[in-house]
Structure 1
Amino acid sequence: MFELFEKYLRSKAAFTAEEMQQIEAVTTIKRLRKRQFLLQEGEVWTYNAFVSKGCLRTYSVDTKGAEHILTFAVENWWIGDLQSLASGLPARFNIDAIEDSVVLLIRKEEFDRLCQVIPALQQLVNALLHRSFLAQQNRIHTTISHSAEEKYRLFLQNFPEFARRIPQHMVASYLGMTTETLSRIRRNLV
């Protein structure tokens, strides 16, 4: 599984063989079954996690038991609770596998050390954080300024693979609507 991560890294920046060995030496492979947690609310998140295979989601559960999905992550995406990682405080979110998955984990301390000694990795992290910020900004804008139908159309346009892999009730949660509303929108689109 590290080979997939190496291929991803090499597609983003130039790494030497020695740098790849350093990264591989601190990487742990975690296999998750469908519905298995990678992180549960209240735990402290201490990893940088790369999805090598499968699909995961980050979500919270409100006092009424309703799930609110913040993100999905598929192959070649990163996932984690950045607030918990940065602060050392308990996570507010859960992360679990939507399908059988494989995640590569690097402890925060090791990842930070690697970023200091491997400039290409630090540049990659900076680019990822920048793209992530823009994606979150776009998501917030869509959430507050588009109709339910427009949100779903944009979701299909931006994430066609998600629409095929993710159950509709999870898509509805991600879009901030009920499953019934999403079903009605889908019927109207056909």
Structure 2
Amino acid sequence: MLAEFEHYLKAQTGLPEETIRQVSSLATKHTLRRQEPILSPGQVCQHKAFIVKGLVRTFNLTADGNEHILQFSPENTWTLDVESYDKQVPSLVNISAIEQSQVLLWHKTDFDALLTAIPAFKQFSERLISRNIYYNRQRILTILGGTPEEKYEDFIRTFPTLLSRLPLHMIAGYLGMSVKTLTRIRHAQLQRS
């Protein structure tokens, strides 16, 4: 697990191997079973998680049982509840594995120490945050102004490898539409092909 992360970090940052080993040495390895949570509502987010293998989702459940998916995190991505982590307040979201997943977890105090000790790692972290902000802004604009067809097309462009890994109800929960609407869109798309 650490070797995959170290390869990722080297490719993304160009940090020296000794520094990369310093970062990975503070990680805790964890294997998640399918549907196993790493964060539940009411808990305070204490860790940043890197997905080595598998697929994780961040979501909220409404009182009537509808699932609103905020984010999918496949291999080589990071996840956490930013507000809970930064402010150390109870989380409003769930983060759980869609499929069996291998993750690395850094406790907040350890990760903060790494950011202080390694300026280049802090710059890398800031770039990831900026990229996430840009993506989320674009997603909000698509969700607010796009037709259901445009939302689905955007999903296909953004996550082409996830289509075969996700059940329809999760894709619908991410796009903010019913499974019935998503099925209609997919059927129409297949007929055009």
Question: Residues 146-166 of structure 1: CA distance to partner in whole angstroms, max 9, x if unpaired?
Answer: 000110011111210111111
Is 1:64 paired with 2:64? yes
Aligned residues, how many? 190
Q: Secondary structure at the match of 2:38?
A: strand
Q: What is the percent sequence identity of the aligned residues?
A: 39
- The correspondence of residues 32-181 of structure 1 with structure 2, limited to 5 A, is 32-181=32-181
Instruction: State the match for 2:8 in structure 1.
Output: 8
Looking at structure 2, the residues matched to 92 and 34 of structure 1 have their Cα atoms a distance apart, in angstroms, of 21
Looking at structure 1, the residues matched to 102 and 45 of structure 2 have their Cα atoms a distance apart, in angstroms, of 17
Give the conservation status (yes or no) of the 8 Å contact 1:48–1:105: yes
Give the conservation status (yes or no) of the 8 Å contact 1:14–1:120: no
TM-score w.r.t. length of structure 2: 0.96
Report the alpha carbon displacement of residue 12 of structure 1 after superposing the two structures with TM. Answer: 1.1
Give the conservation status (yes or no) of the 8 Å contact 1:35–1:99: yes
What is the root-mean-square deviation in Å for CA atoms of aligned residues?
0.8
Report the alpha carbon displacement of residue 120 of structure 1 after superposing the two structures with TM. Answer: 1.7
Report the alpha carbon displacement of residue 46 of structure 1 after superposing the two structures with TM. Answer: 0.7
Looking at structure 2, the residues matched to 84 and 130 of structure 1 have their Cα atoms a distance apart, in angstroms, of 18
Question: Residues 67-106 of structure 1: CA distance to partner in whole angstroms, max 9, x if unpaired?
Answer: 1100000000101101000011001000111100011001
Instruction: Between 84-93 and 155-164, report the one with greater CA deviation.
Output: 155-164
Report the alpha carbon displacement of residue 125 of structure 1 after superposing the two structures with TM. Answer: 0.4
User: Partner letter of residue 24 of structure 2?
Assistant: E
Looking at structure 2, the residues matched to 23 and 158 of structure 1 have their Cα atoms a distance apart, in angstroms, of 29
Where has structure 1 moved over 3 Å in runs of 4 or more? Answer: none
